[in-house]
Amino acid sequence: MARKAAPGRRWPLAFYLALAANLFFFASFQWSYVTLPGFIQELGGGAAEIGLAFGLSTLSAVVLRPFIGPLIDRWGRKQALLVGSFLFALEPVLYTLVGSIGLFLAVRLIRGLAIAAFTTAYTTLVADLAPAERRGEAVGLAGVTNNVGMLFAPALGAAMQVRWGYTPHFWGAAALALVSFALVLPLKEARGFSQAVPAGPGFWSVGRLRPVWLASFAGTGLAVGYGAALSFMPPFATERGLGAAGGYFTAFALAVMASQATAGWLSDRLGRRAVVLPGMVVAGLASAGLAMAWTDLALLAAGAGLGLSWGLVRAGLDASLVDSVPGASRGAAFAFLYTCFDAGIGAGSYGLGLLAEAEGYAAAFYAAGAWAAVALAGYLAWGRRPGTVRDGA
């Protein structure tokens, strides 16, 4: 049975296995970033179907997380990791069998279930493995591997598709997910969570706890800006004649990894709010700065700013949530947090899309910056330092 890491000592093997599994899971996710729109067009889809394909996975994750979170608390973290990585391997294989846009969109629903199961269980497991005094460091390091794949997976995936076609390309994505599955198999959960245990309060009951809904609300200040950037930054850059659209996401990924590697550690020493508050300020500035970008350098700076804010806000809020709920309710708590985050991304993508269509892309980015200010104001007005609830594990 894996033991929790003591202060100043190495993390348990399960911690490293979880980080590696997460890296390959997200590398599989990022493998088809560049190629999927072209595949949808080959199936007869257009811009609307491309947007729907990306939206369906987020929507299904939002719908399913409320059910998955309590199951993770009841049945254990490892089972959810295995289910998520297996479904992620199955999905691209099914792409090779579909012959219509309708079937393709139906298969996309699998992705939302896989993401909801894996990501919720992953953060919960990492929190279980860390002692209270190193929880911020643990969740910060855990987030770094989300974006390592961004440095190689989209480029390699696109190169394989160009050289050998879509079928081998999708098999490559499946292979990465299978590596994730294999890394989870020998993983040992923290004592007390390796077998089915009586679950704590359910999704909605946990969501009514002040630290949970406050962290979830604060997270939307980052999520809306991320959703807007993900959807509208490329056409915005084209509209202004900027050539660094690809570099925007590279700058974002590098800043996320750098900030998450240190933000959690800092939150253990300075407090969660000490990293969340500046992160939320930077989130608003990054969105407004994107609206004012007229040069490639300004575009890259906006991407780096969004990445910096992501690392600070996510590490601080995740750690504050772990501090505030007992272990038997962590799955439900993280499910609530990530459901609200996904909903914020959707609002940034679809809600601000209406504003962008009427007033232009810059207006959407300014609105995202304004919402970050609203979320910051709410976090300051309603926030209080939560007491730590130890799980006794």
Interval 263-312: pLDDT, tens = 888 888 888 899 999 999 999 999 999 999 999 999 999 999 999 999 89
Task: Mean pLDDT check: name the lowest of 80-89, 179-188, 342-351.
Answer: 342-351
Q: CA-CA distance, 328 to 361, in Å (whole number)?
A: 44
Q: Whole-prediction pTM value?
A: 0.75
pLDDT, residue 190, reads: 66
In 3D, which of 91, 136, 156, 137 has the Cα closest to residue 117?
91
pLDDT, residue 388, reads: 40
* Burial degree of 75 (CB within 10 A; 0-12, 13-18, 19+): middle
Q: What is the DSSP string of 96-146?
A: TT--SHHHHHHHHHHHHHHHHHHHHHHHHHHHHHS-GGGHHHHHHHHHHHH
Residue range 34-64, pLDDT digits in tens = 787 788 888 887 766 766 777 777 778 888 8
Domains and CATH numbers, the chain: 13-188 (1.20.1250.20), 201-386 (1.20.1250.20)
Residue range 143-202, pLDDT digits in tens = 888 888 877 888 888 889 889 999 999 999 999 999 999 999 998 876 655 444 445 566
Contact 57, 112 (CB under 8 A): yes
| Buried b / exposed e along 243-266 (16+ C-beta atoms within 10 A) | ebbebbbbbbbbbbbebbbbbbbb
* Burial degree of 289 (CB within 10 A; 0-12, 13-18, 19+): buried
Provide the Cα torsion 223, 70, 66, 374; round to 10°.
-30
Contact 179, 22 (CB under 8 A): no
Q: State which H helix or E strand residue 250 sits in.
A: helix 245-270
DSSP assigned state of 150: G
Q: CA-CA distance, 239 to 360, in Å (whole number)?
A: 10
3-state secondary structure of 37: helix
pLDDT, residue 197, reads: 47
